């Protein structure tokens, strides 16, 4: 086993930061190339005229998932050492609701707002400022909210563990879901364009 590099000390602390920075810049560049730094493009999601966000993000998820699966199967990646965040139902549901409302209002999510801000868009800068204020506010209130975190803790688990099926079955199912989603997205976009014209 040689990966994850951070767990086996191959990259070192500084190397992990540099790798994260380079990957982040590359991901941001891909988002900008896909047009996802524009709130207008993202708002197309909500009226079903342009489902590029769904296609790009689902493509990224499936690519990462297949990469992890095959690297693990080939013995290059130790899945047991890959960090899985713990589940805290109440704060994550509340955060999801706030995230969704902010996305609908601003037309940008944290990643795309950073891309928008980096390319000089004022709306992106405003959203970045807003989510930093939200993080600081949540951090300040954390001592008061600690009981809600602890009461809804469910530990770290994955879909194969939750569904009690092999990892490969979940991968196969998600790939099938993605392919069906891409076909459905294309049909929805064509139907909406037909209605608009």
Secondary structure of 120-161 in HEC code, one letter for each residue: CCHHHHHHHHHHHHHHHHHHHHHHHHHHHHHHCEEECCCHHH
Q: What is the mean pLDDT of each run of 10 residues along the chain (197 residues)?
A: 71 86 91 86 84 87 92 87 86 88 87 91 93 89 79 85 91 93 91 70
- Angle (nearest 5°) at CA 72 between 66 and 78: 130
- Which helix (H) or strand (E) is 87 found in, with range? strand 87-88
pLDDT of 46-79, one tens digit each? 888 888 888 888 898 899 999 999 999 988 888 8
Cβ atoms of 2 and 89 within 8 Å: the answer is no
> Which has the closest alpha carbon to 43: 58, 53, 33?
53
Strand partners, 141: none
- In the chain, % of residues over pLDDT 90: 31
């Amino acid at each position: 086993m040689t990966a994850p590099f951070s767990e086996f000390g191959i990259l070192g602390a500084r190397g992990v930061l540099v790798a994260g920075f380079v990957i982040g810049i590359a991901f941001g560049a891909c988002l900008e190339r896909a047009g996802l730094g524009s709130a207008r493009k993202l708002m197309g999601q909500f009226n079903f005229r342009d489902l590029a966000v769904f296609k790009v993000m689902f493509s990224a998820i499936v690519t990462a998932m297949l990469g992890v699966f095959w690297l693990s199967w080939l013995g290059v990646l130790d899945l047991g050492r890959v960090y899985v965040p713990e589940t805290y139902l109440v704060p994550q549901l509340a955060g999801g609701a706030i995230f969704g409302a902010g996305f609908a209002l601003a037309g940008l999510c944290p990643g795309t707002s950073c891309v928008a801000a980096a390319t000089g868009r004022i709306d992106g800068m405003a959203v970045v400022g807003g989510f930093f204020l939200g993080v600081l506010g949540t951090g300040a209130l954390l001592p008061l909210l600690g009981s809600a975190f602890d009461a809804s803790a469910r530990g770290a688990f994955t879909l194969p563990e939750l569904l009690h099926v092999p990892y490969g079955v979940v991968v196969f199912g998600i790939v099938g879901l993605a392919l069906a989603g891409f076909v459905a997205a294309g049909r929805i976009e064509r139907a909406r364009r037909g209605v608009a014209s």
